[in-house]
Structure 1
């Protein structure tokens, strides 16, 4: 009995006495193979045996010479053709918004790498993901070469090999400077492997070894643009993390066919003087506020606060091209040199921007507070509004402080003073609630006209900032409460309490400063706030803030509610920024469905996918945070590149067994000092004290210490800074030193890093 080929579903068997299979039959067999297919599998499939095997071998060799076959005798395939099932990497989208992928493995000798149009309906797949797909070849002229149906999602490659190409001055070829800060070495690129890349281009590359004992050279796979020419250093992070840049033509075209809002089913709020308060350089305005004293005698001294949010759900309908694109992006990504938005500019900066004196559809919540700021009730409506004024935080604050601008002057009594009075009441309830009160000012990088760092500022935290933040929090809570009451699914914004392991590390550290935090069973944000308040009297309050921040869990999106520890809230959902967060758009749709506010609410198809969508947008938020952080590092490294040898005031921001991370006082730039840069002594890593302590002298360096450092190296493409320590170590209560955690005199390799946060 003939054995069925392991590499095919089925094949037409041709007995040996009827001759060999035709070339077309061989190609058809190879193209239908599910596994490996070589000479042996072909012989088995077509019943070729005995002396006919020699004739088959000659036939296969002839097909290879003709250029119709590729591979070796164990792995044959039609030249230039993909197998029936292949591993693919999603590389972009076509003009219709469909995902486009390319094979993970491909021999360039077979020609141009084929493209695959993926059918991804109902699957959370994005650019940079790897998938296993079943392929169908498409007719020529269709754009893509194949159509792929998802079999399963594969693990992503650990990291994309990206670098800056530096062309040699003569002889062709050049070198690549990798952007990975853990791999600060250059790779040689031979003249035949440049793939037409230009000097300074950001490139994706692969490593290839030319001989058994030869070092790896780099082969450029594709050029991704020049960050310097475009004055967009964020280009590196965009490609490193696979962040979608341009919108497909079909998505932009859909923007031109969106339905205009009408008053049908809407409450008219156009006479209510809602105002927007945003950063001075804000391009879109998706939230507006208004407050007034409650005229209800039963709520004497109370307030009615209205929070109106742009009605993005009116334009972005479930299942539309705009919706699919927004879900792929997950959120807007903010860089100092540009924004990569979740929605096209037509929507984010026009249709859904609450422009001054222009009618805009909105979803609004009317919040009723008593004199102590406790919420008594709330009501959601779908409405039409008209912003009475567009103010910046600084402008609104100056008006309340007694210096109103010409725009603010007529708003003082009717708008601004009631807002501040309502906030004073709500702030009482907030203080009673006791959310985590970390004081970690965020620095802002300002660029000049050439896209270079002009200066780094720490914006003042104003009451106006706190006012808007607290009213948005109250609106978010109201959204979660309403959906729970209506028994509709909620994508919560949750923040878990610190883990037992992190809490133990924090407790061990605080004990070295004679400070304590309660055990997990009695833990509330108030306990941390007491520690933070006590830290203000210590020499290093920033240190305590930093360590408590590091002890916290990361916030995320999920349909399962565990509360928000940091805000000390039982239920919380993101409702107030649907222009820039997909999670908020889902909440808008859920509210529309729950309250019967229109036909464009949460669809039945979305409900069973909420858990996977929540996981995906949580991951996309992490991606955005990493990209934003890395871009800031690269901008600062470029800013300091011509100051190698200069000295800086800094503070120790991280302690590892191989060295110290430091943060510069003026710019907030992070850099690394390997143990070899600390002097001749051996240092023990005392983990509980977040310190490196000399084994001979007992002196050391700990997290939060103010130090002076000298810049030794700056690598802008990697965002890497290396320093040496100038400040001698000091004595302190470092706690017991443990054996087996000694740091070496110098690390085996340079490592650079930085932590980030987002509420």
Structure 2
């Protein structure tokens, strides 16, 4: 009997000797009988659980706040503090690592703080928990299943819950009335969360500000200032310097800009999108600070897209009647993408066009040297620091900051009377000495240089696994619709057939040229179309067609379609 199994290779083929493998798990009688998450985990060798030793080590971590550990930290416990989460009912997914405060300064500027759970305080370098976190590299989101970087006990203990004291690392940013970042401070803190809110709850409060109970009025005022004033101002500043965003729904509500590669404006959770503006700025501030101090760091970079990746999309948009072009094919800029999003927004097919535009972006990469990030329109540096319990890079960055706090030299020599404030952006441009001790500097540089390749591989694996799950789920969805007819848009044409995006479902399938029985079709690459020799019917980029779902290969995620109607008529075969 045929079964789908996971096999561990014991010996690879040598000469005439075939490979030898050992069955480690029976997934099902066939691909469709197996759980999609199990298939993905086996394919990408993702562990779904932690061993007993790791779980035991996690259970031995301090469960309660130690007042002594907060003595040398700035105390923010009396400041109104709030957190945001997707859904309070899904506890396994709600590891809350960031809390927020918003205040007015004496100069009437905005002071917005991102308080990040101090995971590095509890997970020491080279400890067992650190090694498993490094091995996993990142948290992977497979639908309802979350493959955490750290055991659940860690996330339960150090998730920022209401009415408890927590150790945090805070990025405290000051903005003027126009949303321009003036300065920032990064320091160890102690906080207490006053309110844990879901995004729908925030939306509800903001939608009925005149009906807020008196007890909730201070919170409502903060939310109003944050989402109606500060966040929109910061967003306007970003767009003014050439940034862009895509109108998309994320594959997972728990993904941030790291794996998505740019900022997205979700119609379902606009509040989340606005908050992301400020969280990204906190990441950027930390990157600027590491660079200004001259200490080792891991930076997140993203190269510009390739012209070849954009060419078909531009042809598609032009065939849909949109006047789109780039200033230069030699150098693609974020401003080009902003202009494209404005033009694509005029099309009734904007949803699928934005989806295809997102596909042209390259994956972000980690680097031990600062570099540009195309999707966020940063030309100098960017990093990740707000998710130290979900992403190993963030944990490493947190450790670097803590080293600066504890061992950083704030002056050139001991004889120098006054030093700089290493916690503040005010020190930038005033440091001409090594902030960290030479042995620490060298150790971190070597570690980061070695780790970036591995961590890039882990991120790539996570990204591929998440896409694989999405592909399997789409295949399963379409198998149930075999024989049904849908309207779609031709999004790609090759000599062997053309790809059709079923817009309502955001599912792509292939119409193979062999299924076009009414004529012999020639491929014209310059025009991006298939043309019938006799009937002069063409299938070109941007054509709307009706297709029937012919067959679905679930495991290979292949959806075969046949045309029912549509296409274009070309006079005289031209």
**C-alpha deviations, 1:355-392, integer Å up to 9, x for none?**
12222221111100111111110001111211111111
CA distance in 1, matches of 2:487, 2:19: 39
Q: Secondary structure at the match of 1:202?
A: strand
Q: Secondary structure at the match of 1:284?
A: coil
CA distance in 2, matches of 1:540, 1:688: 23
Computing the radius of gyration from Cα coordinates, the structure with the larger value is 1
Of 468, 475, 493, the residue aligned with 1:637 is: 475
Distance change (3 Å), C-alpha of 1:666 and 1:507:
closer
- Structure 1 position 288, deviation (Å): 1.4
Distance change (3 Å), C-alpha of 1:242 and 1:396:
same
Matched, 1:367 2:173: yes
The answer as to whether partners of 1:524 and 1:565 remain within 8 angstroms in 2 is yes
Partner of 1:293: 104
The answer as to whether partners of 1:399 and 1:408 remain within 8 angstroms in 2 is no
Partner of 2:276: 469
Partner of 1:681: 519
Partner of 1:428: 236
With 633-642 and 317-326 compared, the bigger mean Cα shift is at: 633-642
Matched, 1:496 2:323: no
Partner of 1:711: 549
More relative contact order, 1 or 2 (CA 8 Å, 6+ apart): 2
The answer as to whether partners of 1:509 and 1:689 remain within 8 angstroms in 2 is no
Partner of 1:388: 194
The answer as to whether partners of 2:472 and 2:555 remain within 8 angstroms in 1 is yes
Partner of 1:554: 363
How many residue pairs were aligned? Answer: 512
**C-alpha deviations, 1:301-347, integer Å up to 9, x for none?**
x3110101111111221111111111111111111231111111011
Question: Relative to total residues, which structure has the larger helix share, 1 or 2?
Answer: 2
Q: Secondary structure at the match of 2:325?
A: coil
Matched, 1:583 2:389: no
Partner of 2:25: 224
- Structure 1 position 462, deviation (Å): 3.5
Aligned positions of 1:255-334 closer than 5 A: 255-259=58-62, 261=66, 262-280=69-87, 281=90, 282-296=93-107, 300=108, 302-334=109-141
Distance change (3 Å), C-alpha of 1:268 and 1:650:
same
**C-alpha deviations, 1:617-668, integer Å up to 9, x for none?**
2221121121112122223333443432122233334433322333333433
Q: TM-score, normalised by structure 1?
A: 0.61
Distance change (3 Å), C-alpha of 1:391 and 1:703:
farther
- Structure 1 position 268, deviation (Å): 1.5
Partner of 2:2: 175
Superposition RMSD in Å: 3.5
The answer as to whether partners of 1:559 and 1:610 remain within 8 angstroms in 2 is yes
Partner of 2:41: 238
The answer as to whether partners of 2:37 and 2:142 remain within 8 angstroms in 1 is yes
**C-alpha deviations, 1:192-251, integer Å up to 9, x for none?**
xxxxxxxxx534389x9xxxxxxxx99973042436999842010101011122212222
CA distance in 2, matches of 1:522, 1:253: 53
The answer as to whether partners of 2:98 and 2:386 remain within 8 angstroms in 1 is yes
**C-alpha deviations, 1:382-421, integer Å up to 9, x for none?**
1121111111112112211226787993444443123222
Q: Secondary structure at the match of 1:431?
A: helix
Matched, 1:402 2:208: yes
Q: Unaligned 5+ residue runs, structure 1?
A: 1-173, 177-200, 209-216, 446-457, 738-759
Q: Secondary structure at the match of 1:366?
A: strand
Partner of 2:505: 667
Partner of 2:346: 537
Distance change (3 Å), C-alpha of 1:665 and 1:541:
closer
**C-alpha deviations, 1:37-70, integer Å up to 9, x for none?**
xxxxxxxxxxxxxxxxxxxxxxxxxxxxxxxxxx
Distance change (3 Å), C-alpha of 1:347 and 1:653:
farther
CA distance in 1, matches of 2:278, 2:570: 44
Distance change (3 Å), C-alpha of 1:437 and 1:642:
closer
Q: Secondary structure at the match of 1:643?
A: coil
The answer as to whether partners of 1:342 and 1:581 remain within 8 angstroms in 2 is yes
Distance change (3 Å), C-alpha of 1:562 and 1:205:
closer
CA distance in 2, matches of 1:502, 1:369: 38
CA distance in 1, matches of 2:23, 2:519: 47
Partner of 1:146: none
Q: TM-score, normalised by structure 2?
A: 0.80
With 663-672 and 336-345 compared, the bigger mean Cα shift is at: 663-672
The answer as to whether partners of 1:540 and 1:705 remain within 8 angstroms in 2 is no
CA distance in 1, matches of 2:115, 2:529: 49
Q: Secondary structure at the match of 1:324?
A: helix
The answer as to whether partners of 2:6 and 2:42 remain within 8 angstroms in 1 is no
CA distance in 2, matches of 1:238, 1:633: 14
Q: Secondary structure at the match of 1:356?
A: coil
CA distance in 2, matches of 1:697, 1:546: 33
Of 561, 564, 568, the residue aligned with 1:730 is: 568
The answer as to whether partners of 2:162 and 2:195 remain within 8 angstroms in 1 is yes
Partner of 1:190: none
Distance change (3 Å), C-alpha of 1:523 and 1:716:
closer
**C-alpha deviations, 1:665-718, integer Å up to 9, x for none?**
343333332222334334344445554344544443344444322122233344
Distance change (3 Å), C-alpha of 1:604 and 1:444:
closer
- Structure 1 position 509, deviation (Å): 6.4
Distance change (3 Å), C-alpha of 1:647 and 1:591:
same
Of 396, 402, 409, the residue aligned with 1:592 is: 402
Partner of 1:526: 335
- Structure 1 position 505, deviation (Å): 6.2
Distance change (3 Å), C-alpha of 1:284 and 1:516:
same
The answer as to whether partners of 2:544 and 2:567 remain within 8 angstroms in 1 is no
CA distance in 2, matches of 1:407, 1:277: 21
Partner of 1:341: 148
CA distance in 2, matches of 1:255, 1:603: 30
Distance change (3 Å), C-alpha of 1:545 and 1:256:
closer
- Structure 1 position 584, deviation (Å): 1.0
Distance change (3 Å), C-alpha of 1:605 and 1:243:
farther
